[in-house]
C-alpha cells in the first residue's frame, strides 16, 4: 500500500505542476475576475509548494492532499473561465 501511495503522490505532483504550466489567466488583471484568477493561481501554487514540502518530509498523505486541493483550485478556475488551457489537454475536466 505504501508503494501505491508513493506512486500516486508522485503522479499527482507531476500532473498538477504540468497543469499549472498549461493554465493561462484569461481575464484582464485589473478587473475583479482578474483578481479572482490571481487568487486561484496563488492558492494553487501555494498548495503545490506545501505538497512538495510535505513530500520532502516523507509525509505522503499530506503531500497528496495538498496536490489534490491545489489541483481543485486550478480546475475550478478553468471551469469558471478564469484560465484558458489547450483544447487537447488531458489535465482538466472540461
Domains, the chain, with CATH or none: 2-14+30-84 (1.20.1270.90)
pLDDT in tens, 21-45: 999 999 999 999 999 999 999 999 9
Mean pLDDT of the chain: 93
**Where does the pLDDT of residue 88 fall: very low under 50, low under 70, confident under 90, or very high at 90 and above?**
confident
pLDDT in tens, 4-24: 999 999 999 999 999 999 999
What pTM did the predictor assign? 0.89
pLDDT in tens, 39-81: 999 999 999 999 999 999 999 999 999 999 999 999 999 999 9
Place of cell 473561465: 81
User: What distance in Å separates the CA atoms of residue 33 and residue 55, rounded to the nearest whole number?
Assistant: 33
Burial class for 15, CB neighbours closer than 10 Å (0-12, 13-18, 19+): middle
Q: Is the pLDDT of residue 92 over 80?
A: no
Amino acid at each position: 500500500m505504501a508503494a501505491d501511495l508513493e506512486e500516486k503522490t508522485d503522479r499527482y505532483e507531476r500532473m498538477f505542476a504540468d497543469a499549472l504550466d498549461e493554465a493561462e489567466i484569461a481575464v484582464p488583471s485589473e478587473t475583479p475576475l482578474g483578481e479572482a484568477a490571481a487568487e486561484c493561481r496563488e492558492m494553487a501554487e501555494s498548495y503545490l509548494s506545501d505538497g512538495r514540502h510535505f513530500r520532502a518530509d516523507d509525509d505522503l498523505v499530506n503531500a497528496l492532499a495538498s496536490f489534490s486541493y491545489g489541483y481543485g483550485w486550478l480546475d475550478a478556475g478553468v471551469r469558471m473561465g478564469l484560465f484558458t488551457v489547450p483544447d487537447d489537454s488531458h489535465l482538466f475536466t472540461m
